[in-house]
């Protein structure tokens, strides 16, 4: 299956006429998309009741990807994180069957240290057996050693655009999950992707879906391009399948 969506579920004015007028933003968003990435969890914790409310607002087939808090990834830099990690995982489990992958986005300055990464991933897997995707942004993470470690712990590596290093553009790690995060190029968070790019991407998603769970999240949300790009990509994958 292919899940296509955006980083956040606000409905921009540029595409509002394609969505129903009634209901919450999430309910309106879920009429067209079956996936979304919760980025707000990176900045602040959400109450358990909030996750329960979100889960109740969407169809059974809908899935939430949830971004790991910056306290874990950016402030503590994966070290001594057992307590906040357990708190985060306990809360997101309230999404129930609507919980998709956990997104671990690493700071660009975080170098791959095998022992540190192993300790973190082992701790994560001790408490969570569900899908996890990682978006490293330092060149040291795109090596044989880091790739083998991600595969060992069944962690998929994000294919990102713009890519921090050429290898970062291509998904890697555990091959049972394929996850793209498209931030907008050439202007990050702003630029829209042209139809030609989306057609090529649709073919890649369909090819990957023959053997893996495939996600594509648009993060070029600043001017509403993400929603329009996601809608077009959804139409392309449907017509090409």
Structure-block tokens of residue 48: 């358990």
In CATH, 2-240 is 3.30.70.2470: no
| Pairing of β 172-173 and β 177-182 | unpaired
pTM above 0.95, yes or no: yes
pLDDT at 108: 97
- Burial-class residue 60 by CB neighbours within 10 Å (0-12, 13-18, 19+): exposed
pLDDT at 200: 98
Structure-block tokens of residue 209: 């879906």
Sign of CA dihedral 163, 165, 169, 175: negative
What is the rounded CA–CA span in Å between residue 32 and residue 28?
8
With residues binned 3-state (H G I as helix, E B as strand, rest as coil), the percentages for the chain, rounded to 5, are: 45, 20, 35
pLDDT at 150: 98
What is the rounded CA–CA span in Å between residue 18 and residue 223?
16
What is the rounded CA–CA span in Å between residue 144 and residue 13?
45
pLDDT at 71: 98
Q: pLDDT (tens digit, 0 to 9) for every residue of the chain, 241 residues total?
A: 899 999 999 999 989 999 999 899 999 999 999 999 999 999 999 999 999 999 999 999 999 999 999 999 999 999 999 999 999 999 999 999 999 999 999 999 999 999 999 999 999 999 999 999 999 999 999 999 999 999 999 999 999 999 999 999 999 999 999 999 999 999 999 999 999 999 999 999 999 999 999 999 999 999 999 999 999 999 999 999 8
Residue with tokens 């899935």: 63
According to DSSP, residue 68 is labeled P
Strands (E), 26-166: 35-38, 63-67, 99-105, 132-135, 155-157, 159-161
Q: Using an 8 Å Cβ cutoff, are 195 and 235 in contact?
A: no
Distance of CA 109 to the CA centre of its chain: 20
| Pairing of β 172-173 and β 155-157 | antiparallel
pLDDT at 107: 98
Residue with tokens 């329960």: 52
What is the rounded CA–CA span in Å between residue 14 and residue 190?
14
Residue with tokens 């309910």: 27
């Amino acid at each position: 299956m292919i899940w296509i969506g955006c980083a956040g579920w606000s409905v921009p004015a540029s595409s509002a006429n394609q969505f129903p007028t009634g209901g919450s933003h999430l309910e309106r968003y879920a009429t067209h998309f079956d996936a979304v990435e919760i980025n707000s969890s990176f900045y602040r914790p959400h109450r358990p009741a909030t996750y329960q409310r979100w889960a109740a607002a969407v169809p059974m087939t809908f899935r939430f990807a949830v971004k790991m808090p910056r306290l874990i990834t950016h402030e503590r830099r994966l070290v001594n994180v057992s307590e906040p990690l357990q708190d985060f995982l306990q809360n997101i489990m309230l999404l129930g069957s609507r919980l998709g992958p956990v997104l671990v986005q690493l700071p660009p300055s975080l170098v791959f240290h095998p022992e540190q990464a192993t300790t973190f991933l082992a701790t994560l897997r001790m408490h969570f057996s569900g899908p996890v995707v990682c978006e490293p942004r330092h060149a040291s993470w795109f090596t044989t050693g880091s790739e083998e470690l991600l595969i060992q712990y069944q962690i998929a590596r994000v294919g990102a655009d713009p890519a921090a290093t050429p290898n970062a553009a291509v998904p890697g790690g555990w091959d049972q999950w394929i996850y793209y995060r498209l931030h907008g190029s050439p202007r990050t968070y702003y630029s829209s992707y042209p139809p030609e790019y989306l057609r090529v991407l649709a073919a890649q998603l369909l090819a990957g879906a023959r053997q893996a769970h495939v996600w594509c999240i648009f993060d070029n949300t600043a001017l509403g391009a993400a929603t329009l790009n996601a809608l077009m990509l959804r139409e392309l994958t449907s017509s090409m399948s």
